[in-house]
Amino acid sequence: MYHDPVLLQASVDGLLIKPGGTYVDVTYGGGGHSKEILKRLQGGRLFAFDQDVDADANIVKDDRLTLLNHNFRYLKNFLKYHRVIPVDGILADLGVSSHQFDVAARGFSFRFGAPLDMRMNQNQQKSAADILNEYTPAQLTNIFRQYGELSNSGQLANRIVAFRKEKKIITSEDLKSAITGLIEKRNEDKYLAKLFQALRIETNSELDALKEFLMQSLVVLKKSGRLVVISYHSLEDRLVKNFMKTGNFDGILEKDLFGNTNTPFELISRKAIIPDEKEISQNKRARSAKLRIAEKK
């Protein structure tokens, strides 16, 4: 399977689908969420985004579906082009697909001795290997600290810079060799997961793209339209939570001259919805998922 959709029923239920409405799945992937949305439409339309060309292999033959091979940071432009603004609901599953993790050549996993690619959009030039070989020590330290939340980010960056003077870092095995002895064996997998997360976020400008998408979602949604987002790590979830709660990414409630708060969304789920034990046992990649739902005022 390309990808087992996480929190499938809860997320699609959260869209509160109208049979004749217009909806957007900005992370098509294996098509799991889109297929469930299509089941609930009768005459409505679904627009889906995915910058990974591998997603094309999962396209559903349905006249109601339009798949756009672009990053969701261009949400507004393409919906405007198709003349469908405003829309009734938007769903985003921000996780990396099982397919991307499991195909060694994509370079998303440290389980394989594969080239450090990590590009969601394989047409872009910058790869994770480019970052490791070209960024300054200060730049590397910043992304490891900010996106991986690694306490020894400076030491890690210095090790990488020293190693690359002798040999370019091309594969995950090269990277592991560069940091040999830097982490305890018992914590190696957890540490590498954070390191690879940081590299992936930087390679794909994920948090910048997420911010752009969220801001545009407010513009393209109808009044009472639903925004449904599944995130997988604290950096994403914090942005989503703050934006839904306050309309900005700092989580600061803005007030008018009379002291009244002005928020763009009504929170449908006050707390994040998480998978139950059954789903986690069937799909271990669901264990860190958090679902948040908001309705435009």
Based on its alpha-carbon atoms, the radius of gyration of the chain, rounded to whole angstroms, reads: 20
Least confident of 120-129, 137-146, 190-199: 120-129
pLDDT given for residue 138 in this prediction: 98
Distance separating alpha carbons of residues 238 and 244, to the nearest angstrom: 10
- Same fold flag, 8-98+206-296 and 104-204: no
Least confident of 172-176, 274-278, 284-288: 284-288
**pLDDT digit string (tens) for 162-175?**
999 999 999 999 99
Least confident of 49-58, 75-84, 187-196, 204-213: 49-58
CATH fold, domain 104-204, is DNA polymerase; domain 1 (1.10.150)
pLDDT given for residue 3 in this prediction: 61
Mean pLDDT of the chain: 91
Q: 8-98+206-296 architecture in CATH?
A: 3-Layer(aba) Sandwich (3.40)
Distance separating alpha carbons of residues 219 and 221, to the nearest angstrom: 6
Q: Which of 54, 59, 165, 179 is nearest to 110 (CA)?
A: 179
* Residue ranges covered by each domain of the chain: 8-98+206-296, 104-204
User: Can you tell me the mean pLDDT for 102-107?
Assistant: 55
This prediction's pTM? 0.90
Predicted confidence band of residue 122 (pLDDT cuts 50, 70, 90): confident
Q: Which residues pair with 89 in a beta bridge?
A: 23, 226
Predicted confidence band of residue 185 (pLDDT cuts 50, 70, 90): confident
Least confident of 34-43, 65-74, 109-118, 221-230: 109-118
pLDDT given for residue 123 in this prediction: 81
- Could you write out the DSSP letters of every residue in 233-252? SHHHHHHHHHHHHHSSSS-P
Instruction: Assess whether pLDDT exceeds 80 at residue 112.
Output: no
- Residue 147's alpha-carbon distances to 34, 179, 196, 235, in angstroms, are 29, 18, 10, 7
Burial (CB < 10 A; 0-12, 13-18, 19+), residue 24, is: buried
- Residue 65's alpha-carbon distances to 24, 34, 71, 220, in angstroms, are 10, 9, 17, 18
User: Can you tell me the mean pLDDT for 13-21?
Assistant: 98
Burial (CB < 10 A; 0-12, 13-18, 19+), residue 34, is: buried
Non-local (6+) Cβ contacts of 87 within 8 A are: 21, 22, 23, 24, 47, 79, 220, 221, 222, 225
Instruction: Assess whether pLDDT exceeds 70 at residue 5.
Output: yes
137-148 and 188-204 helices cross at what angle (nearest 10)? 110
pLDDT given for residue 111 in this prediction: 62
Burial (CB < 10 A; 0-12, 13-18, 19+), residue 54, is: middle
Q: Let me know: does 31 contact 67? Beta carbons within 8 Å.
A: no
pLDDT given for residue 106 in this prediction: 63
